[in-house]
Amino acid sequence: MKKLMIVDDHRIVRTGLESLISDVDHLDVVASVGTLDDMYTVMKSNRTIDLIILDLKLDHESGITGLIQLKKTWPKTKVLILSGFIDHHLANEAMRLDVDGYLLKSTNFNYLLQAIDRILKGDHVYDDQVTLLKNDDNHKISAFSNLSHRKVELLKLLCLGKTNKEIASILGLTEKTIRNYLSILYKRINVSNRSEAVSYYMRRRDV
């Protein structure tokens, strides 16, 4: 029997998934929570969780932050992102962190069960749209070969209009660290502020 945890801030989603998965003999939902803190509490008390179904957009929290902590502290636990939509940056960030799966909430339930079984066996399962985004992103990053992956990430987040606080949450860093990174980035690409950095990225991304 494989033990699962559902992490989603919408109770109706958690209840629906629990109900569907409860009919599967070899899967057992042992916890269903709505916040990262609750997820951490469960993990600290029950280290035998085999797979976590995690939403990326939690109420006032980023699932990426949770994914970073899970990969760091509980690396043997598989993580399947189940999101209502595909955010270009978040999807690529999740794959950079080697998330085990990324599917949409509109996914057919039978396919979702197949994906869970494949992930538990060690496979990676991504929605086709996510795979395309990854391939497209890899192509665009080649235009910034003179920059580190982290600097390109910062540029993309700036273009999305993210604040320092939001960037810190997404990357699992402090706001002070983000400010330092941005200062280094501005010097590296020879710009003086956020808007100039955005212009730099927009000019080069299609090269």
Q: What is the CATH number of domain 2-134?
A: 3.40.50.2300
3-state secondary structure of 174: coil
Phi, psi values for residue 34, rounded to 5° = -115, -5
Task: Please give the share of the chain, as a percent, with pLDDT higher than 70.
Answer: 91
What is the model's pLDDT at position 127?
87
β partners of residue 53? 6, 80
Query: 171 vs 14, which has greater pLDDT?
Result: 14
Sequence ranges of the chain with CATH classification 3.40.50.2300: 2-134
Q: What is the pLDDT of residues 10-65, one digit of tens each?
A: 999 999 999 999 889 999 999 999 999 999 999 999 768 999 999 988 888 888 88
Would you give the DSSP letter of residue 160?
T
Task: Check pLDDT > 70 for residue 187.
Answer: yes
Sheet of strand 27-33: strand arrangement: 27-33, 2-7, 51-54, 78-83, 101-104, 125-126
- Cα distances (angstroms) measured from residue 38 to each of 34, 66, 78: 7, 11, 18
Domain with CATH 1.10.10.10 in the chain: 146-204
In order of 68, 79, 143, the CA distances from 97 in angstroms are: 7, 11, 22
Structure tokens at 118: 């494949």
- CA angle (32, 90, 41) in 5-degree steps: 30
- Residue corresponding to tokens 């709505």: 34
3-state secondary structure of 85: coil
Confidence tier at 147 by pLDDT (50, 70, 90): confident
Instruction: For residue 28, report the phi and psi dihedrals to the nearest 5 degrees.
Output: -135, 115
The answer to whether 86 and 51 are in contact (CB under 8 A) is no
Residue 190 · residue 147 · CB < 8 Å:
no
**Alpha-helical runs (H) found in 57-125:** 63-73, 88-96, 109-120
Domain 146-204: top CATH class: mainly alpha
List pLDDT tens digits, range 151-160.
Answer: 888 888 888 8
